[in-house]
Chain A
Amino acid sequence: AQSVTQPDIHITVSEGASLELRCNYSYGATPYLFWYVQSPGQGLQLLLKYFSGDTLVQGIKGFEAEFKRSQSSFNLRKPSVHWSDAAEYFCAVGPVSTGNNRKLIWGLGTSLAVNP
């Protein structure tokens, strides 16, 4: 069955430290992969996506992610975290087609706290 696992429910890092958020997936074919961020009181905003090609993708706000097919992973990284990066991060994989609906399978999210 298709699934997305974000092993870390909550992570705390110090401002300026590096960050890696893990995402593992189970999907029968080549997946489309997404990372979204949800800041407090906000909707989900797309950080980056992977469809094909270069397995290291760059996103907004200085984030990047690397697709590793052999490990079924799509980990999100940032070299130096800012206090404004404190948010909930969601990994998603798709498409999963049911009829006309091509939807994503969502991870449960990783909550990031940033210490000053």
Chain B
Amino acid sequence: EAQVTQNPRYLITVTGKKLTVTCSQNMNHEYMSWYRQDPGLGLRQIYYSMNVEVTDKGDVPEGYKVSRKEKRNFPLILESPSPNQTSLYFCASRDTSTYNSPLHFGNGTRLTVT
């Protein structure tokens, strides 16, 4: 089954404790992206990746890092999380061989930073 898998689904941590949210897709998509979803602010892009070793900032990259060492994986790293990073996070991927093919989303990771 074609899917984007995020782990963990829920994460509670404390300020400053480094964490990684994993994302993996099995569709051989070149494009992957991370979003955060906050009430009243909608879906905002954090980082995106056009291909292996090609990443770039989205709209709200501060406080986040990503890496793309393999095509299928695109982890999101919070090296020193802060309470304002409490949010619902989504990873997504897209087939770039078709113009404006739709995004495929993971089921989300709800992060709470205390």
Interface of B is mostly: strand
Query: Does A67 reach chain B (CB closer than 8 Å)?
Result: no
CB-defined contacts of A94 to chain B, threshold 8 Å: 100
Q: Which one, B11-19, B68-76, B104-112, is touching chain A?
A: B104-112
Interface set of B (CB-CB < 8 Å, partner A): 4, 33, 40-43, 45, 48, 50, 56, 58, 90, 92, 100, 102-108
CB-defined contacts of B43 to chain A, threshold 8 Å: 44, 90, 106
* Total interface residues in chain A, CB < 8 Å: 24
Interchain residue pairs with CB less than 8 A apart (28): A34-B102, A36-B105, A41-B107, A42-B108, A43-B4, A43-B106, A44-B43, A44-B90, A44-B92, A44-B103, A44-B105, A46-B102, A46-B103, A49-B102, A90-B43, A94-B100, A100-B56, A101-B56, A101-B58, A102-B100, A103-B58, A104-B103, A106-B42, A106-B43, A108-B40, A108-B41, A108-B42, A109-B42
